Structure 1
């Protein structure tokens, strides 16, 4: 199994025992959601923005309008830091000090470039949409030329990354174990419910199989 090399940039300092640099494990965490947070600097102010993304091999694709402040600043900087987090549970301890959360998170660092090639750009837009709902691209009207030209698409090549995972119970102090206080974990999961069709759809239009499969996979 291949790993990212550890450097001052990606080395986990706090909670290092929960860190992994394994590329397969990191990609699995990336692929298990479609929303990330990206940090950038605008007029000497740090700003963090949530955005949708798609992954293709070692590249993260994002898109926005031509004048999107985050996108243009990332291109000016030439590099980006991206954060992805899954909340898997609330860890409720006997003591306030040891309350925690179970989670899977990735912080990745990469070089930024504007996607100029039309074929790559269209594949990138497909990647982003299919990352949200797999195989849904073929069910929608694809971008016309005006929409295509108005969309700025960026590729972030993953140079290095770190994942941290907590998947365990309460870690209370030994002297607190006999206290008459409940402790445990509340599991948390993002759940998809049955799709709600728009009221102005023609009666003969059915919910696409890709959408139904997504709901089935992500339901309770």
Structure 2
């Protein structure tokens, strides 16, 4: 399921070439992998019966996957029309790094890293790739989690569809730094300006009510704190 990946530049197509705010565009493919590693949730954009839908969902990815420039994996119920193959989809991922407070509402912003991946996914049918993809999705939520779980049952696997989306057609944008106030506002308007850093912080794990008292907190869970 792995091969050597040539880190081709991003924006290989007209659809993923930045047209606005180009100064926030990032062409380094490593930046795409950074965004995908840093987030826990993506948004899947699809069109179902002519109606646009954007759905939050878990994902996993393999930078050395079998598709061109790596593979993004999605999963869901076999009955879900939003995961129908052979149609174009768009997956977006955003990591919020800070709130940028300026001296005017116009210049308020956010520091962030974001990615958009477009393409036509395929259904994963190979048993080994399927199992590996589902493990990647679990481990994206909690690293190393899949290695501590029971094996999926045949019934569970039969009820689950796994889609693979190539990481070929993708774009990344990022913003860093402080507010970009107008010179006329700096030193004149008595308004606080700066950045409020943002990050995801996980709290103390809460034991399931039916968990055996002898089962201690595993290292891969405590590492999330």
Give the TM-score of the pair, scaled to structure 2.
Answer: 0.90
- Mapped to 1, the partners of 2:77 and 2:134 lie a distance apart of 13
Give the 3-state SS of the residue equivalent to 2:223 in structure 1: helix
Q: Is the 8 A contact 2:11 2:171 kept in 1?
A: no
RMSD between aligned residues: 1.3
The reply on whether 1:42 has 2:48 as its aligned counterpart is yes
Deviation at 1:142, TM superposition (A): 2.3
The reply on whether 1:132 has 2:141 as its aligned counterpart is yes
Q: Is the 8 A contact 1:6 1:21 kept in 2?
A: no
After TM superposition, the structure 1 = structure 2 runs for residues 128-207 of structure 1, keeping only pairs within 5 Å, are 128-178=137-187, 179-207=189-217
After TM superposition, the structure 1 = structure 2 runs for residues 68-83 of structure 1, keeping only pairs within 5 Å, are 68-72=80-84, 75-77=85-87, 79-83=88-92
- Mapped to 2, the partners of 1:50 and 1:116 lie a distance apart of 24
Greater strand share, 1 or 2? 1
The reply on whether 1:208 has 2:214 as its aligned counterpart is no
Deviation at 1:89, TM superposition (A): 1.1
- Mapped to 2, the partners of 1:43 and 1:69 lie a distance apart of 9
- 2:105 equivalent among 72, 96, 112: 96
Note the residue ranges of structure 1 that are not aligned, 5 or more in a row. Answer: 216-220
Give the structure 2 partner of residue 23 of structure 1.
29
Give the structure 1 partner of residue 67 of structure 2.
none
Deviation at 1:5, TM superposition (A): 4.5
Give the TM-score of the pair, scaled to structure 1.
Answer: 0.92
Note the residue ranges of structure 2 that are not aligned, 5 or more in a row. Answer: 1-6, 64-69
Give the 3-state SS of the residue equivalent to 1:207 in structure 2: coil
Equivalent residue pairs, number:
212
Q: Deviations over 1:78-113 (max 9, x none)?
A: x32110001111111111111111111001123310
The reply on whether 1:64 has 2:76 as its aligned counterpart is yes
Give the structure 1 partner of residue 18 of structure 2.
12
Deviation at 1:150, TM superposition (A): 0.8
